[in-house]
Amino acid sequence: MVNVVWAEEGGLAANDRGLTYGDGLFETIRMQGQRGALLGRHQRRLLADAERLGITVTHDALSRACQLAAERYAPGFGEKSDAHSGEDGWPGQGGWVLKLILSRGPGGRGYRPDSNSRPQLLISAGLLPPLPPATGVVADIARQRLTVNPQLAGMKTLNRLEQVMAARELTDGVFELIMRDHNDCLVEGTRTNLLAKTTAGWITPPATALAVDGVMRQWVLDCLRRRGEPVLERSLGLADLRVPACEGLYLLSSVLGVVPVYQLADAHLPVTGGLATICDLLTTLE
Amino acid sequence: MVNVVWAEEGGLAANDRGLTYGDGLFETIRMQGQRGALLGRHQRRLLADAERLGITVTHDALSRACQLAAERYAPGFGEKSDAHSGEDGWPGQGGWVLKLILSRGPGGRGYRPDSNSRPQLLISAGLLPPLPPATGVVADIARQRLTVNPQLAGMKTLNRLEQVMAARELTDGVFELIMRDHNDCLVEGTRTNLLAKTTAGWITPPATALAVDGVMRQWVLDCLRRRGEPVLERSLGLADLRVPACEGLYLLSSVLGVVPVYQLADAHLPVTGGLATICDLLTTLE
């Protein structure tokens, strides 16, 4: 049975495997009051990836912990006491981020886990980061490369040093750095997935080649497919992002939403608001 | 300035980057009383890799912390009060393991570190693991593969999920699992480096291809070179381990020492005690 730890009441044990080996997973969930954007998808991904790692947590325990967390933290982030007080029907205040860290727990002999380790679910709340303008952002290419192990592909594990090293390259005015693999394919941003609109259709790198297969990416692809749009999951190179064949590049994040890129390194890219309108995170609150 | 945390007095903060992203390094040092095997090499590796990651720690602070740790923990592991009481001049009792975890510390905006983060040095002591017999051990090949990012190669970072997943495959009677990369090259064990004795000389995979470039490996290679032995740093395949061209396979660990392999999967390998005699960890106590 998973043990829930509230971050403000202390961290994990010094020998917790989440710290010692990055032996765990995490989720960051955009909250509005007590409701979470794509909450069910976040929970399902965490459960599926925990199963891949052999960390035992049940849907009921996770769901209950998220509910307790929403009740615990939402009031501190400006939740309205009257749920219908927003003029437009949306809770205009109260945006925050719920973070879940699931670790395999303490113990084991070196790298080898102890089958009796009790998984730990460390829960914290944070401010929403500054949201990018609808007019888009500047992105650049990271020098730090990504190496994706197919056996661990797509999972939001606690092994994120490549992303940290790329994020150290960020400079003022650059919103995101896009990371390449060692074949010069564009894989993903440090904290976002990539989606390009081209004359051949929407292109996004396949899940099997991703370090993190984002919940937002999965939802946006489902939205596009439901609308009958052509979606190609294939490797993406800089050549795919040349105008006029490229009609737009989007960064996808379940906290930031759909973020258009108007400039990639020295190249300007067209920006339309269409995708952000179709795929509005706030329509997914659960 | 690095902040020293003793594990028995608590862990790291819930938002420490060592936990949240594996943003840090570790060392495990074989201790005998207050002296550490290859202690200076462990310290130099930690300092060099911290510099690669951009984590600031000074030699003096690290050295002082190790000294305090030795004084603090050695008595609990059977340190003799009279340093000369061992019959053979060696402290026969008092073997233990000193573990250092250096993290970048708390804070930052997502993956992007805060330049004001204060590095944390989490120090703990543990029992020596069971030492393998001089007659050697059984090893097998892991299904879990290693993917080494050349930009992070060799560093003993806190991103060790591949090793954890391989170690989950361990079964009774198998001492170590050897991990291959996606080109079927043998890279290293889950917790050891590889060194093969062949008719062409000693072969070990090059540091640039390693997940962890072990302190023991570096020292053993130095010993062999000083003796004029031919050492080849090149990729190692299963074909290199066929008898009679292969005269022995050794697992190298700064805690376990030189460990000969007498059986790899279904193949038997010759075992001699020569390398373990030449490269005896206990001659390196500092």
Domain ranges of chain A: 3-127, 137-279
Residue of B nearest to A176 (CA): B112
Please state the ipTM of this predicted complex. 0.94
Give the residue carrying structure tokens 């500047």. A138
| Both tokens assigned to A35 | 């409701």
Does B191 lie at the interface with A, CB-CB under 8 angstroms?
A: yes
- Three-state DSSP class for A246? strand
Buried residues in A121-152 as b, exposed as e (16+ CB within 10 A)? bbbbbbeeeeebeeebbebbebebbbbbbebb
What pLDDT band is residue A86 in, cutting at 50, 70 and 90? very low
- Three-state DSSP class for A223? helix
CATH tag for B3-127 (out of 3.30.470.10, 1.20.59.10, 3.40.50.300, 3.40.630.40): 3.30.470.10
| Both tokens assigned to B199 | 């008719």
Cβ within 8 Å of B, A 22-51:
22-23, 26
| Both tokens assigned to A248 | 């737009």
- Three-state secondary structure string covering chain B: CCEEEEHHHCCCCCCEHHHHHCCEEEEEEEEECCEEECHHHHHHHHHHHHHHHCCCCCHHHHHHHHHHHHHHHHHHHCCCCCCCCCCCCCCCCCEEEEEEEEECCECCECCECCCCCCCEEEEEEEECCCCCCCCCEEEEECCCCCCCCHHHCCCCECCCHHHHHHHCCCCCCCCEEEEECCCCCEEEECCCEEEEEECCEEEECCHHHCCCCCHHHHHHHHHHHHCCCCEEECCECHHHHCCCCEEEEEEEECCCEEEEEEEECCEECCCCCHHHHHCCHHHHEC
Does B161 lie at the interface with A, CB-CB under 8 angstroms?
A: yes
Measuring CA to CA, which residue among A187, A196, A178, A177 is closest to residue A147? A187
| Both tokens assigned to A99 | 């973070």
Does B14 lie at the interface with A, CB-CB under 8 angstroms?
A: yes
What pLDDT band is residue A87 in, cutting at 50, 70 and 90? very low
CATH tag for A137-279 (out of 3.20.10.10, 3.30.300.30, 3.40.50.1100, 2.60.40.10): 3.20.10.10
Report the distance separating Cα A267 and Cα A253, nearest Å.
23
Does B159 lie at the interface with A, CB-CB under 8 angstroms?
A: yes
| Both tokens assigned to B111 | 């993956």
Strand partners, B201: B198
Contact B111 A164 (CB under 8 A): yes
Contact B11 A7 (CB under 8 A): no
Does B146 lie at the interface with A, CB-CB under 8 angstroms?
A: yes
Report the distance separating Cα B264 and Cα B176, nearest Å.
10
Report the distance separating Cα B267 and Cα B134, nearest Å.
19
Angle between helices A39-53 and A59-73 (to 10 degrees): 130
Give the residue carrying structure tokens 């998808």. A41
Convert the pLDDT of each residue in A231-250 to its tens digit. 999 999 999 999 999 999 99
8 Å CB contact between B133 and A213 = no
Contact B160 A111 (CB under 8 A): yes
Does A125 lie at the interface with B, CB-CB under 8 angstroms?
A: no
Contact A158 B19 (CB under 8 A): yes
Of A112, A166, A190, the CB nearest to B170: A112
Report the distance separating Cα B17 and Cα B14, nearest Å.
9
Does B173 lie at the interface with A, CB-CB under 8 angstroms?
A: no
Report the distance separating Cα A202 and Cα B129, nearest Å.
54
Contact A22 B124 (CB under 8 A): no
DSSP A43-81: HHHHHHHHHHHT----HHHHHHHHHHHHHHHGGGGT--S
Report the distance separating Cα B191 and Cα B275, nearest Å.
19
- Three-state DSSP class for A167? helix
Does A144 lie at the interface with B, CB-CB under 8 angstroms?
A: yes
pLDDT value of position B109: 87
Contact A167 B5 (CB under 8 A): no
Does A112 lie at the interface with B, CB-CB under 8 angstroms?
A: yes
Contact pairs from chain A to chain B, CB under 8 Å: 170
Contact A101 B19 (CB under 8 A): yes
Residue pLDDT tens, chain B, 286 long: 899 999 999 999 999 999 999 999 999 999 999 999 999 999 999 999 999 999 999 999 999 999 999 999 999 998 754 444 444 334 445 799 999 999 999 988 899 999 889 999 999 999 999 899 999 999 999 999 999 999 999 999 999 999 999 999 999 999 999 999 999 999 999 999 999 999 999 999 999 999 999 999 999 999 999 999 999 999 999 999 999 999 999 999 999 999 999 999 999 999 988 899 999 999 999 9
Of B11, B151, B160, the CB nearest to A11: B11
Mutate to test the interface with B, among A15, A20, A104 (most CBs of B within 10 A): A20
8 Å CB contact between B3 and B10 = no
Mutate to test the interface with B, among A5, A9, A16, A21 (most CBs of B within 10 A): A21
pLDDT value of position B46: 98
Report the distance separating Cα A61 and Cα A2, nearest Å.
7
Contact B147 A145 (CB under 8 A): no
Measuring CA to CA, which residue among B119, B116, B112, B104 is closest to residue A129? B112
Angle between helices B39-53 and B215-226 (to 10 degrees): 120
Cβ within 8 Å of A, B 61-100:
none
Contact A113 B164 (CB under 8 A): yes
Report the distance separating Cα A148 and Cα A212, nearest Å.
9
Q: How far is A92 from chain B (nearest CA, A)?
A: 24
Report the distance separating Cα B270 and Cα B273, nearest Å.
10
What architecture (CATH level 2) is domain B137-284? Answer: Alpha-Beta Barrel (3.20)
Does A141 lie at the interface with B, CB-CB under 8 angstroms?
A: no
